């Protein structure tokens, strides 16, 4: 039986001290359930609301990709430097050690390959499996303005409903097809629609003009998509511009795993996102780490 003496003499109630209020820097999350806030805090640094996500979900529609031929060899060693991993459940189960401490964002939509019309996506996993895997969020592609816009919206809202049941956030990804323009007017429309329909996170592309308005008009964290492979200094400059315009961080794939030194690039990107390091200084960090043959 428990010792009751301590209970009988308890005195440290501090009646003159207001109840503690726990705050964080994650935008738009204050009214979410505890479990959902906890999962978001595994993806984004709670103090700053920023994240460096490592994306390697490309194989779900384009098969083997340069740099992703062996995820167990090329990506798994980088996971310790990522705040979160953006991947498919298949690559996670086969190629990433369960001991990883990084947040997990699972691709939950898909269907067509690069041989077909990419906008014709459907739900590709059940929320129950996300719970089984212990995911921190699921990601769904949303084709605002595309041929299958309404279908992708239904994919989003269905996952949002299931996510509230399970306490798992949804990351809405703005898809930009050949017929859509990556300007602030379109991106601002897309991210706002995704947030209004319930996504707790939005991932979108960077645009040179008006990106700060895109972010300001979205009530949840906006994470910049890395996009195509760029020279390292250009990628670091884009990441810096995005976070200084209010983005909650970056989700980079090809600009990491197709770099000449992926681990050095991860260090440089982290310095830009979390330490606000100037892009040129971050590039020098990349060069120094590359020349020092930082182990992969």
Catalytic positions are 203
The Cα 194–Cα 220 span in angstroms is 10
CA 172 to chain centroid, in Å, comes to 10
**Residue 138: φ, ψ to 5°:** -125, 150
**Residue 255: φ, ψ to 5°:** -70, -10
Q: Which of 179, 178, 162, 181 is nearest to 170 (CA)?
A: 162
CA angle 192/193/199 to nearest 5° reads: 85
Q: Is the dihedral of CA 190, 191, 196, 201 positive or negative?
A: positive
Q: Is the dihedral of CA 147, 129, 29, 244 positive or negative?
A: negative
C-alpha distances (whole Å) from 100 to each of 90, 104, 215 are 16, 9, 30
């Amino acid at each position: 039986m428990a010792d009751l003496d301590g209970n009988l003499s308890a005195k440290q109630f501090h009646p003159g001290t207001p109840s503690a209020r726990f705050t964080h820097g994650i935008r738009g999350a204050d009214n979410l359930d505890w479990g959902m806030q906890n999962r978001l805090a595994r993806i984004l640094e709670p103090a700053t609301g920023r994240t460096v996500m490592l994306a390697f979900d490309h194989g779900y529609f384009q098969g083997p990709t340069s740099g992703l031929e062996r995820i167990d060899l090329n990506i798994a060693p980088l996971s310790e430097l990522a705040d979160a991993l953006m991947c498919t459940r298949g690559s996670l189960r086969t190629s990433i050690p369960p001991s990883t401490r990084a947040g997990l964002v699972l691709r939950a939509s898909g269907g067509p390959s690069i041989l077909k019309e990419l906008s014709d996506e459907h739900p590709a996993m059940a929320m129950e499996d996300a719970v089984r895997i212990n995911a921190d969020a699921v990601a769904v592609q949303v084709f605002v303005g595309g041929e299958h816009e309404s279908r992708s919206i239904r994919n989003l809202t269905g996952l949002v409903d299931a996510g509230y049941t399970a306490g798992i956030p949804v990351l809405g990804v703005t898809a930009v097809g050949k017929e859509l323009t990556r300007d602030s007017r379109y991106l601002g429309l897309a991210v706002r629609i995704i947030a209004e329909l319930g996504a707790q996170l939005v991932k979108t592309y960077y645009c040179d003009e008006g990106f700060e308005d895109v972010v300001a008009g979205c009530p949840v964290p906006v994470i910049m998509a890395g996009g195509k492979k760029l020279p390292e200094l250009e990628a670091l400059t884009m990441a810096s511009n995005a976070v200084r315009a209010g983005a909650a961080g970056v989700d980079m794939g090809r600009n990491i795993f197709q770099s000449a030194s992926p681990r050095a690039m991860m260090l440089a990107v982290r310095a830009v996102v979390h330490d606000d390091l100037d892009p040129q200084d971050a590039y020098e960090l990349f060069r120094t780490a590359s020349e020092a043959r930082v182990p992969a």
